[in-house]
Structure 1
Amino acid sequence: MSTPAEYYRSLPPVSKTYGVACLMTSAAYYLQLYSAKNIALDYGEVFKRLQVWRLITNFFFLGPFSVPFAIRLIMIAKYGVSLERGPFDKRTADYVWMFIFGAFSLLVIAAVPYFWYPFMGISLVFMIAYIWSREFPNARINIYGVVSLKGFYLPWALLALDLIFGYPIKPDIAGMIAGHLYYFLTVLHPLSGGKFRLKTPLWVHKIVAYWGEGAQINAPVQSNPLAGIVFKGRSHRLGGTQTSTNEQTKGNASASASASALQREGNGIAFRGKSYRLNG
């Protein structure tokens, strides 16, 4: 059985980063390091006071420590990780683009007063669950050990549970809309003969390459070779024929001394003999 540290290291980079960011945001809120209203999505504050960070920070707050928070974190660990290891395996940039496209779509949806919610991270997690249900429609899921369903019905089951427990369902509906929009543009529309237009932009590939985590099949940019490297210097293969730096220094000094001796003996001429031009 793996330890928590081994489980953490085994997680794929994007889901791990987002889950840890959400956990740290709620932990900081629990420690009263900030007020939730300062990171909530408020278009009035964004446009009047230019508090543009609200467009990003609201996606990292899944609520205070509670049962709903734990369920949403488990959804990231289960369905987000399953997507990243399955359909998005070796497609880290595409998976990052899915998050970015989903967040942008939710910001547009939240502009409609009916769907507005101060923290759209709940909708983003629900979007992940919706896309998972479309990618794994025949997978068997178990709801609280009571109901067994096909994966296709997962978002509807979660929506029904939130309705029964009295949680807001508007964020769930917004997440389903954003998830279906992404799945339609990337899967359903191309399969029906439509032109695929939602390609991952080059700048997303560059971010992933600079990050140095994950992999991307046929990436248009090379990964940053210095990502994650703390110390830089000359490297040598173990057991090879490379000489050490000290040996090279001694060799260079010996060669310089020999050349000086030849110059003194030959009045400045180090080598004698006929010369020929190559290919002459």
Structure 2
Amino acid sequence: MSTPSEYYRSLPPVSKTYGVACLTATAAFYLQVYDPWTSIALDYGHVFKRLQVWRLITNFFFLGTFSFRFALRLIIIAKYGVSLEKGTFDKRTADYLWMLIFGALSLLVMAVVPAFSTPFMGPSLVFMLVYIWGREYPNARINVYGVVTLKGFYLPWAMLALDLIFGAPLMPDILGMVAGHLYYFLTVLHPLAGGKYIFKTPLWVHKFVAYWEGTQINAPVQRDPYAGVAFRGRSYRLNGNQTRTPEQAQTRRETETETQQPNSPEGEIAFRGRSYCLGDAH
């Protein structure tokens, strides 16, 4: 059984960062460091009239006060978000990050309509993860609260029904499902139906991920040996781009032949190492 620190280190970067940011935002509110409704809540009046543009981002980090529903949303990030990032988006961190960014932009557009606007769109973004996970793993067996077992495809609908029974607002869940279906349609359903795949992760997202985490397998950016990990290796940078002409290769083989000892068995190279030479002197 892994320790909490080992579990934390095993989490993929995007889900870990988002989960920690949401936990920090709620903890700071609990400690009365700030008032989220007056400082980070989504309010287009403050965004355009007072230029408080940070509200377009910060509202996604507040998942509510400490409660059962807050814990459930963190569990969704830790389970279904991590499952997507490690499974469907394995070694495609930039694509996973772009999925969240697209979901956030879609929710911001929908929030322009007063009937769909909520101060904090984080719960909708989290429910988007549930919807996409259910579409990616439709046959997975899920146990809901230890009461009923169903397939993954029906998970978002079951959670929507439970919110209805518990009297929770349904609008955040519905908006999350709409954003998730829009993303899934553009990336999966439309191309499968013969449509052209035009929904590509922007280059700036790939560059951002390459800077912090290293180049991904599908990244259209140059590999940077210093990205993500300091001193990844100078030998890769020096030798990775070396090219030799046939004349240079032939000259190198002739030089190596001349340095061989004429009487050594199997053409061993003299001075294979300083320690070998010094050892003979003794």
- Range class of TM-score, shorter chain: 0.7 to 0.9
- Identify the residue that residue 114 of structure 1 maps to in structure 2: 115
1:148 maps to amino acid: T
Alignment of structure 1 residues 163-202 onto 2, 5 Å: 163-202=164-203
Match of 1:155 in 2: 156
Partner of 1:3: 3
TM-score relative to the length of structure 2:
0.80
Higher Cα Rg, which structure: 1
- Structure 2 portions without partners, runs of 5+: 236-282
Deviation at 1:226, TM superposition (A): 2.7
The equivalent of 1:20 in structure 2 is 20
RMSD: 1.8
Q: Any conservation in 2 of the 1:14–1:96 contact (CA below 8 Å)?
A: yes
Question: How far did residue 167 of structure 1 move?
Answer: 1.1
CA distance in 2, matches of 1:228, 1:85: 18
Alignment correspondent of 1:217: 217
Compare relative contact order (CA 8 Å, sep 6+) and give the higher one, 1 or 2.
1
**How far, CA to CA, are the matches of 2:119 and 2:162 in structure 1?**
21
- By how many angstroms is 1:218 displaced? 2.7
Please say if 1:34 is aligned against 2:40: no
Contact 1:139/1:151 (<8 A) preserved: yes
- Alpha-carbon contact 1:39-1:54 (below 8 Å) kept: yes
Letter in 2 for 1:73: L
- CA distance in 2 between partners of 1:228 and 1:28 (Å): 29
Which deviations, in whole Å up to 9, do the C-alpha atoms of 1:105-127 show, x marking residues without a partner?
A: 00001111111111000000000
Q: Distance in 2 between matches of 1:226 and 1:162?
A: 47
Identity %: 76
Query: Which whole-Å deviations, capped at 9, do the CAs of 1:143-182 have from their partners, x for residues lacking one?
Result: 1000111000011111111111111110000000000000
Corresponding residue pairs, total:
235
Q: Map Cα deviations across residues 32-72 of structure 1 (whole Å, 9 max, x no partner).
A: 11111110000111111111000000000001111100000
Structure 1 unaligned regions, length at least 5? 237-280
Partner of residue 71, structure 1: 72
* Matched AA of 2:88: P
Equivalent residues in 2 for 1:248-267, closer than 5 Å: none
AA in 2 matched with 1:146: V
Partners of 1:147 and 1:179 lie apart in 2 by 24
Shift of 1:216: 2.2
Q: Distance in 1 between matches of 2:120 and 2:12?
A: 25
Query: What amino acid is aligned across from residue 202 of structure 1 in structure 2?
Result: L
Partner Cα separation in structure 2 for residue 234 and residue 183 of structure 1: 39
**Higher deviation after alignment, 158-167 or 49-58:** 158-167
Q: Name the amino acid aligned to 1:7.
A: Y
Is the 8 Å Cα contact of residues 92 and 218 (structure 2) preserved in structure 1?
Answer: no
2:208 — aligned with what? Answer: 207
1:18 alignment partner AA: Y
